[in-house]
């Protein structure tokens, strides 16, 4: 893989080791942007198996035996989930619930969209219900931003918390079908969802076919809600011009509620435990909890559930501190779109609305930590190469801008005035957030690490 987390810790060496150790007639090693396994980076995918340094010795055997099936981790199945309070909340709401009262609970909790946009989650329900049916619900499981793996973390452990939250949201807007759009790079998650959706149907909790599981094809752009809807409809995943918004004209032209996987996980918990499960947590003047995907130069990469007011210092401490022999230099606070901040800016709460004054944003809280052994300019180039690969090509500012920026950034000394001119054109004229945010790594590297460019 060539995402930032993988490149920081030896993806190139792993690719070369595979190329040297495998028969080219049996397997080819190809570059790919991201597999969403930044916590075990560097990693490659062999069929549906993920390979890292620790499993290199198993690769030859797997290839020889044709064993490329996904390895399913232990997870809470339907029976285990129902031993507690599983689906009791959903059943009660379906019998005697008031969707507006549930919406008020969600709003009181302060829950905002956890796919990156941060829109107040409960408000979406009323917007969708204001439009005549039939209505649909779409789950955005295309967790394609390098450094992000929190949705996979929850789905591989507690899939039914998410599924119950999805069905509660579907009940609230009277959705006729729930579409789950899941990236194909998560084969274990896809298999878990297939099994557990079938179990829900067998238990009579949903009608057969009510949940429609769709596989994405590895396009980061399909994380944008309208591009995802285009893909669900069987078309090329490209963002739509707005208005109209998807709450009015979504899947097959019908009003559609779109939520992120983790957002729905918290919908279920809020409905079961009350708004205080989020609202009662406070730090640095911020309320709520955040799931931070942490990778890079830390001792223990992983997903950490911390107060929303946590700083990068708190996050590194939760991840076991810096990796041995490394000194903190910089960090990516919310995926490639958020750019890079220097270690000196370590007192900013990593939450919604706190990073915008610094030219950044929290996004999906994909935190990648760099050390004194890394160059900020190399990290920025890695991010722009990702955007160049993943641009859908629909609009010229993004398609051409990313390509030209990558070429300019490979020079020993950056042509900063020309790069800024490209950045301005991309930010002003790109159709969607990919092109609008792609300049952030360039601008922030020039601002905070001028000695490197």
Q: Are residues 353 and 395 in the same domain?
A: no
Asked whether 116 and 258 are in contact (CB, 8 A), the reply is no
* pLDDT tens-digit map of 332-350: 999 999 999 999 999 999 9
Q: What is the pLDDT of residue 3?
A: 78
Q: Are residues 110 and 239 in the same domain?
A: yes
Asked if residue 162 belongs to a domain, the reply is yes
To which residue do tokens 């495998």 refer?
A: 22
Last residue of a domain, one of 16, 34, 65: 65
Q: Are residues 271 and 307 in the same domain?
A: no
Q: Give the whole-angstrom CA distance, residue 392 versus residue 380.
A: 20
The number of domains in the chain is 4
Q: Are residues 96 and 217 in the same domain?
A: yes
Q: Give the whole-angstrom CA distance, residue 100 versus residue 106.
A: 10
pLDDT mean across residues, the chain: 91
Task: Catalogue the long-range contacts made by 70-75 (C-beta closer than 8 Å, 24 or more residues apart).
Answer: 70/187, 70/188, 70/190, 70/191, 71/188, 72/188, 72/191, 72/192, 73/156, 73/157, 73/188, 75/156, 75/157, 75/158, 75/159, 75/192
Asked if residue 284 belongs to a domain, the reply is no
Last residue of a domain, one of 371, 395, 428: 371
User: What parts of the chain have a pLDDT lower than 50?
Assistant: none
Is the peptide bond prior to 25 cis by the omega test (within 30 degrees of 0)? Answer: no
Rg (C-alpha) for the chain, rounded Å, is 22
Q: Are residues 19 and 145 in the same domain?
A: no
Q: Which two tokens stand for residue 406?
A: 């990558």
* pLDDT tens-digit map of 145-162: 899 999 999 999 999 999
Q: Are residues 325 and 432 in the same domain?
A: no
Q: Are residues 184 and 327 in the same domain?
A: no
Q: What is the pLDDT of residue 426?
A: 97
Q: CATH number for the domain including 442?
A: 1.20.1440.230
Hey, which residues does 120 pair with through a beta bridge? Answer: 112
Asked if residue 282 belongs to a domain, the reply is no
Asked if residue 73 belongs to a domain, the reply is no
DSSP string, 40-72: G-SEEEETTEEEEGGGGGGHHHHHHHT--PPPP
Q: What is the pLDDT of residue 249?
A: 96
Tell me the residue range of the domain where 30 lies.
4-65
Asked if residue 353 belongs to a domain, the reply is yes
Closest CA to 17 of 40, 36, 44: 44
Q: CATH number for the domain including 270?
A: 3.40.50.11540
Q: Give the whole-angstrom CA distance, residue 386 versus residue 391.
A: 9
């Amino acid at each position: 893989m060539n995402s930032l987390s993988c490149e920081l810790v030896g993806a190139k060496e792993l690719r070369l080791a595979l190329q040297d150790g495998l028969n080219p007639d049996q397997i080819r090693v190809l570059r790919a942007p991201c597999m969403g396994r930044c916590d075990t980076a560097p990693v490659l995918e062999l069929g549906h198996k993920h390979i890292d340094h620790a499993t290199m010795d198993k690769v030859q055997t797997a290839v020889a035996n044709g064993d490329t099936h996904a390895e399913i981790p232990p997870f809470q199945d339907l029976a285990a989930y129902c031993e507690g309070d599983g689906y009791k909340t959903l059943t009660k709401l379906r019998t005697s619930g008031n969707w507006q009262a549930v919406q008020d609970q969600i709003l009181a909790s302060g829950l905002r969209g956890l796919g990156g946009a941060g829109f107040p989650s409960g408000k979406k329900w009323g917007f969708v219900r204001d439009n005549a049916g039939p209505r649909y619900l779409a789950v955005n499981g295309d967790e394609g931003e390098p450094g992000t793996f929190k949705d996979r973390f929850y789905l591989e452990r507690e899939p039914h918390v998410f599924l119950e939250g999805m069905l509660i949201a579907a009940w609230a807007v009277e959705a006729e079908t729930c579409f789950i759009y899941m990236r194909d790079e998560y084969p274990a998650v896809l298999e878990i969802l297939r099994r557990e959706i079938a179990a829900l149907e067998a238990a009579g909790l949903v009608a057969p076919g009510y949940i429609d599981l769709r596989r994405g094809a590895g396009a980061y752009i399909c994380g944008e809600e309208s591009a995802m809807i285009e893909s669900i409809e069987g078309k090329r995943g490209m963002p739509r011009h707005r208005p109209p918004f998807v709450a009015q004209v979504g899947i097959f032209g019908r009003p559609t509620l779109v939520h992120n996987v983790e957002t729905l996980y918290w919908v279920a918990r809020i409905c079961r435990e009350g708004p205080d499960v989020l609202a009662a947590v406070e730090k640095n003047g911020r309320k709520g909890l955040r799931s931070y995907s942490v990778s890079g130069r830390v001792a223990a990469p992983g997903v950490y559930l911390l107060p929303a007011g946590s700083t990068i210092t708190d996050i590194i401490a939760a991840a076991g501190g810096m990796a041995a022999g490394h000194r903190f230099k910089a960090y990516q606070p919310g995926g490639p779109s958020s750019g890079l901040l220097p270690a000196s800016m370590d007192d900013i709460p990593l939450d919604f609305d706190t990073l915008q004054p610094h030219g950044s944003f929290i996004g999906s809280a994909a935190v990648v930590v760099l050390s004194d052994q890394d160059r900020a300019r190399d990290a920025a180039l890695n991010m722009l190469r990702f955007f160049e690969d993943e641009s859908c090509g629909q609009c010229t500012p993004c398609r051409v801008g990313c390509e030209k920026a990558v070429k300019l950034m490979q020079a020993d000394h950056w042509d900063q005035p020309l790069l800024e001119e490209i950045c301005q054109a991309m930010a002003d004229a790109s159709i969607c957030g990919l092109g609008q945010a792609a300049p952030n790594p360039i601008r922030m590297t020039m601002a905070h690490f001028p000695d490197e460019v």
